[in-house]
Structure 1
Amino acid sequence: MPPKSSKPPKPAASGPAADAGVVSHGMAQRLAERDAMRRHRLLRRVLGWTAALLVVAGLAWVALVSPVLGLDTERVTISGQGTVVDPAQVAAVVGEAAGTPLPRLDTVALRDRVLDLNGVRDVEIRRAWPTGLDVRIESREPVVAVPVDEGFALLDADGVRVRTDPAAPEGLPQVEVPLDDADPLALDAAIVLLNALPPELRAEVEHVSASTRDAVVMGLRDGDTVEWGSAEDAALKVRVLQTLRAVPENAEVTVFDVSAPTLPVTR
């Protein structure tokens, strides 16, 4: 049997066909690497957004749901209640919101509730982070006492009735104008008069009467009477009255008529 002849090995391919195979393999590898980098960047972006959403959700839960920022009534401060507003009533209204997270607390509605309380003229409510409130009240302080069946109605500078006392508080001028008067402007004129007086002169007023809005009369604590007239020219009337009372020749005068301030009369 003749011996098998051995064939020489086939030489390696060369030329354009071989180069195309190498280029194709290298391009595929680069494309695969680029796709892997894109997937990696996309994964990092998704993980970043997910982490951010979790942080936001956590913060929202802490701020709006959890008791971490809940209103603590021990950290509520109330000021400006004056002599009329009962701070216990204010605290009771605020206390109804205890535990409510501060960011979710409706301070506008809470302010309206406090304004409904007797003697409150205005109120400002500020959040005192992290769990408190600062409640600043402007009270309706009485400036006059008006006789009524139950005693004396105490009115503030706006003519609002803040409370009724059995007797007129010491130092508070009495206004002799019925609250149900057919001419409420008479009461307004009396209050305008008291608001126009400087503090040192207002402290001397014992009572005010007003049969009409143009016939306001003041009685002072030293017994002098001031015929004031209408509410017009209040500032000028104050200056004329102070000047007349300071003149030594008027030491015995008991009636000062400044209803026409350019032509005052004493007697």
Structure 2
Amino acid sequence: MVSTTSQERFAERARARRHLARRQLLLTAGGVLGAGGLAWLLLLSPVLALDPQKVEVTGAGTVVAVDQVLAVVAERAGTPLPRLDTVGLRDAVLDVPGVREARVVREWPDGLAVQLVSREPVAAVPEPDGGGVVLLDEQGVQVGRADAPPEGLPTVDVPVGDERTLTAVLRVLEQLPPDLLAQVGSVAARTQDTVTMQLRDGPQVDWGSADETPLKIAVLQALRAAPQAAGASVLDVSAPRLPITR
């Protein structure tokens, strides 16, 4: 026969198990509701939805049309940032004319930073029909055209269709420091080894090939600073260890 004290202990234990079970059920339900709420906040809520007015574009340079970049981003308006495919958006931005590189960074809670590297023109190549000039970047990619060479941009004269010679010229221009590049009025080459530059202040520079360009730059700067080279019409640095002035 079970004593009254034992019955009370059994009843108390049963109540404790029921209380623990209810507590575990409530905790589980709360966890499910919390996870669901968090998922809604991150994936569906307008709180984190992309706002086109909070998109910052940097690095557009002189070529890229910022409104075209913003138009690409605007197609994703309203998409919660956690669901936004930044890789796909970057690829779409790369299709905008003049964009060389792009990086898309989420700016919480509802913005984006689009960081660009633009294809800046380094040379103007006259069109075969004489109607204007084609603007090329340092990789030889066309980034625009103009009726006349823009101020400060050198014109390039190479044989039509000679990609190797054009590449050699662009390699030289790419490596010139900005202050020297600004002084170059025109560049001509019949072959990849006969690059010649005409400086805006007069002297012609026979450069030769694109090889040893850093050394040639140093030699040219030394020649231009030397009193003995004052008044020279030609500065030949094609063999930089044996430069010639005449």
Same fold (TM over 0.5): yes
From the CA coordinates, give the structure whose radius of gyration is larger.
1
Residue 210 of structure 2 is matched in structure 1 by 231
**AA at the equivalent of 1:69:** L
Aligned residue among 93, 101, 108 for 2:80: 101
Equivalent residues in 2 for 1:118-267 (5 A)?
A: 118-148=97-127, 149=129, 150-178=131-159, 180-181=161-162, 184-267=163-246
2:66 and 2:152 map into 1 onto residues whose CA distance is 24
SS of the residue aligned with 2:240? coil
How many percent of aligned residue pairs carry the same amino acid? 54
- Equivalent position SS for 2:221: helix
Shift in Å at residue 179 of structure 1? Answer: 5.7
For structure 1, the residue ranges without an aligned partner over 5 or more in a row are 1-20
CA distance, structure 2, for counterparts of residue 179 and residue 154 of structure 1: 15
**Partner of 1:260: helix, strand, or coil?**
coil
Counterpart of 1:114 (choices 82, 88, 93) is 93
- Within 2, Cα distance between the matches of 1:85 and 1:108? 20
Tell me, yes or no, if structure 1 residue 64 matches structure 2 residue 64. no
Shift of 1:243: 1.3
- Give distance in 2, aligned partners of 1:194 and 1:142: 11
Equivalent residue pairs, number: 244
**2:159–2:190 contact (8 Å) kept in structure 1:** no
Give the 3-state SS of the residue equivalent to 1:84 in structure 2: coil
Say if 2:53 is the partner of 1:53: no
Q: What stretches of structure 2 of length at least 5 have no aligned partner?
A: none
What is the deviation of 1:196? 2.1
After TM superposition, the score normalised by the length of structure 2 is 0.94
2:8 to 9, 26, 29: 29
Structure 2: distance between partners of 1:53 and 1:179 = 70
- Cα distance in structure 2, aligned partners of 1:68 and 1:204: 53
Q: What is the CA-CA distance between 1:172 and the residue it aligns to? A: 0.1
1:116 offset after TM fit, Å?
Answer: 0.5
TM-score when normalising by structure 1: 0.87
Q: Separation in 2 of the partners of 1:232 and 1:77? A: 40
